[in-house]
Amino acid sequence: MLKEKLLDFSGHLTDLLPLEKTEISNLFEKPKNKDHGHTSLPVFRFSKTLKKAPPVLAKEVAEQIINKKIDGVKEVQAVGGFINITWTNGYILENFKEFINEEKLGYNDSGKGRKLIIDYSSPNVAKPMHVGHLRATIIGQAIRNLAQTQGFEVIGLNHLGDWGVQFGKLAWAYKKWGSEYDFKNDSFNSLYSLYVRFHKEVEEHPEYEKEGAAAFKRLEEGDEELHKIWKEFIDISMAQYQKTWDRLGVKHDLVKGESFYADPRKLDHVVDLLEKKELLEESEGAWVVHLDEKRPPCLIKKSDGASLYATRDIASALYRMQDLECDVNLYVVGSEQKLHFSQLFSVLEKMDYPWAKDCHHVAFGMYRFKNVGKMSSRKGQVIRLDDVLDKATEMVLERINSKNPDLKNKDDVAEIVGVGAVVFNDLLNDRVKDVEFDWEKVTDFEGDSGPYVQYSAVRCKSLLRKAKEKLKKDSFDFAVTLSEKAEIDLMNLMMDYPNILSNSYKTFKPNYLASFLLEVSRAFSSFYNKCPILSIEDKALMESRLALVSATLKVLEEGLKVLNITSPEEM
């Protein structure tokens, strides 16, 4: 039921329970058993104050609610310490219409007037994005979209890994061996090959290490030639990443790579601030900030004066929170960087920034592939993000060829469904856990998969196309009240959408939304199986059912959009 309606309803209960109506309305939960009514009010917390056992209290209050004859209430039942409420069909439809006709479905303005910055994808120049970046990209974009539904002003940030001694090495390698590669036609692979080559050659020629470090020093000091080469590396890499982001529909608003903070003025500023707070200590020639016994100190400046990943992240946090005036700062990065972020946030706390508590590491687990062999994962190397997308698309195309061989634009559909399958599968998993990646399951059209949700949307679309033709109408209204259980259940479930969005955002867990979309798909399937639509005589009922189909499509498409997934017209 809608939040405002529960609030109204709670207003009727303030003389029965010792709480304000807003607080009462926050207590309602979904009954564990669907046959136990539409919403449930646990009374355990009142037991002590009112000096009654929960089941006794639930029974008494339930009776009092019945006596009040409140509008919309059909049944009230006490089960254990719960009061279960069933609404009338008319009341559900009335609420549902209000819900579905909202302009921005499920949005609220809890974040209004606040700025949220979210760092996601953030690959490392010269290296292909791997499955870790797949997660950072997909989860990050979904949380970014979720934040928008909560009314935040959102800045999507690409904290590109474009600085560090490796770029000195790479530029040196480029000057030495660059001409052996086809930078003109195959620039990104050439760049990566060069990277791999340097690390291989160094094993036999350790002196190359020094050459690389010296080149980095010169790059830091502003050497023009090296700077030009380095800039070229960034352009080549960004062009490559852009292709992947386009496939995934991922967008950043701002690119501020690590090099942006490597500027000596910014770094000196960080060092100055730490010194003023007397946090900087010397340790084996380097400068560090000591934390607690449980964690190693945070390394700020190496003995040769060079900055580190952490130093650049401190500068970046200052930039985000002070220069850009953000209120919330999210880092969507794998769990393997847990220590780094805990150190970073502790240093910010020690620097007395009150906003340190508004910085969050949105961590995630790793992928474990079942049947890696099915993918041409160049043995022993990292699994590339694009290879995962290609493989999924290929598998979906096979399925289409066997199920629906006459489909038009098969390749385009396979791309939408294949990419959607990977994205959905990722988001369906609780992000903190590792993901068991099973190709068959991920691309299954009928299982708990993205294709299944997309398929449900496609079914709605096809039904509506046929209906428009048959009834010579473009849109459908709820002409009569719907009363089949499958219809009521579907409407009641969908009205939970705003709650799902806000819970997903608050926990930074898009899996609540993904699971919800599966539930809606299943509820739609029950409705579709039990309630005939285009074959019935009763035109008013037919229209109402079509209105429900079109509402379901809206919820599915809006929800998928938040997860950054689209659905094809047919599949």
With a CB cutoff of 8 Å and minimum separation 6, the contacts of 529 are 486
Length of the chain counted residue by residue = 571
Q: Report the nearest approach of ligand ARG to the CB of residue 147 (Å).
A: 17
Within 88-177, residue ranges assigned H as helices are 89-100, 131-149, 165-177
Q: Which of 5, 38, 59, 133 is catalytic?
A: 133
Q: Report how far apart, in Å, the C-alpha atoms of 266 and of each of 262, 304, 356 are.
A: 7, 18, 19
Q: Report the nearest approach of ligand ARG to the CB of residue 317 (Å).
A: 8
Q: Is the Cβ of residue 159 or residue 391 nearer to ligand ARG in the bound state?
A: 159
Q: Report how far apart, in Å, the C-alpha atoms of 454 and of each of 145, 175, 248, 401, 566 are.
A: 19, 50, 16, 17, 8
436, 518 Cβ separation under 8 angstroms: no
Q: Report the nearest approach of ligand ARG to the CB of residue 121 (Å).
A: 9
Phi, psi (degrees; rounded to nearest 5) at 408:
-80, 160
The answer to whether residue 133 is catalytic is yes
CA distance 536 to 452: 27
* Exposure letters 304-332 (e unless 16+ CB within 10 A, then b): eebbbebbbbbbbbbbbbeeeebebbbbb
Q: Report the nearest approach of ligand ARG to the CB of residue 85 (Å).
A: 47
164, 258 Cβ separation under 8 angstroms: yes
Q: Is the Cβ of residue 385 or residue 491 nearer to ligand ARG in the bound state?
A: 385
460, 520 Cβ separation under 8 angstroms: no
Q: Report the nearest approach of ligand ARG to the CB of residue 132 (Å).
A: 7
Q: Report the nearest approach of ligand ARG to the CB of residue 159 (Å).
A: 4
The answer to whether residue 205 is catalytic is no
Q: Report the nearest approach of ligand ARG to the CB of residue 340 (Å).
A: 7
Residue whose CB is nearest to ligand ARG in the complex, by number: 161
Torsion of CA 523, 528, 529, 532, to 10 degrees: 150
Within 249-378, residue ranges assigned H as helices are 264-276, 309-318, 338-350
The answer to whether residue 340 is catalytic is no
Q: Is the Cβ of residue 121 or residue 150 nearer to ligand ARG in the bound state?
A: 121
Q: Is the Cβ of residue 119 or residue 426 nearer to ligand ARG in the bound state?
A: 119
Amino acid at 285: G
CA distance 416 to 423: 11
Q: DSSP secondary-structure letter at 296?
A: P
Helices then strands, counting H and E runs in the chain, come out as 20, 13
Q: Which of 204, 189, 190, 197 is nearest to 169 (CA)?
A: 197
Q: Is the Cβ of residue 340 or residue 522 nearer to ligand ARG in the bound state?
A: 340
Q: Which of 38, 59, 130, 252 is catalytic?
A: 130
Q: Which of 455, 404, 432, 429 is nearest to 515 (CA)?
A: 429
Q: Is the Cβ of residue 257 or residue 420 nearer to ligand ARG in the bound state?
A: 257
Q: Which of 5, 59, 127, 461 is catalytic?
A: 127
- Interface residues toward ligand ARG, by CB under 6 A: 119, 122-124, 159, 161, 313, 316, 331, 333
Q: Is the Cβ of residue 84 or residue 137 nearer to ligand ARG in the bound state?
A: 137
Q: Report the nearest approach of ligand ARG to the CB of residue 310 (Å).
A: 9
Q: Is the Cβ of residue 73 or residue 366 nearer to ligand ARG in the bound state?
A: 366
Phi-psi category of 164—alpha, beta or left, where left has phi over 0 and alpha has psi -120 to 50? left
Q: Is the Cβ of residue 344 or residue 546 nearer to ligand ARG in the bound state?
A: 344
Q: Report the nearest approach of ligand ARG to the CB of residue 435 (Å).
A: 18
Strand, helix or coil for residue 255: strand
CA distance 437 to 366: 10
Cα 212 from chain centroid?
Answer: 38
Q: DSSP secondary-structure letter at 115?
A: E
For the annotated catalytic residues, the residue numbers are 127, 130, 133
